[in-house]
Amino acid sequence: MDHLACAGQPRVTAARSTASRLNGVNAHIGSAAKSQAFLAVTAQHPEIAAIADAANPMGRMGDPDGDIAPAPA
């Protein structure tokens, strides 16, 4: 891994370790949100939602409208 990829590692580690105790985490890491495609799949297979929630450091998938800020224009 090059030095630029490693530069944000302490922040990502801190975000993951505190995510379950906070309302939100402001970190530039790939987020997992309940997209329309995700909702369509989990409507047919609810066990997938439980697995995804358990794998997420916050203990739940993000809500695209409530958790993720829109990109600036």
Q: How confident is the model at residue 12 (pLDDT cuts 50, 70, 90)?
A: low
Residue 46: predicted pLDDT: 93
Q: Is pLDDT at 59 greater than 80 in this prediction?
A: yes
Report CA-CA distances (Å) from 29 to 9, 21, 26, 43, 46: 10, 18, 9, 27, 26
Per-residue pLDDT reduced to its tens digit, 15-26:
666 666 655 555
Map out the domains of the chain as residue ranges. 30-73
Is the pLDDT assigned to residue 60 strictly greater than 70?
yes
Mean predicted confidence (pLDDT) in 36-61: 89
Residue 44 predicted with pLDDT over 90: yes
Confidence (pLDDT) at 1: 43
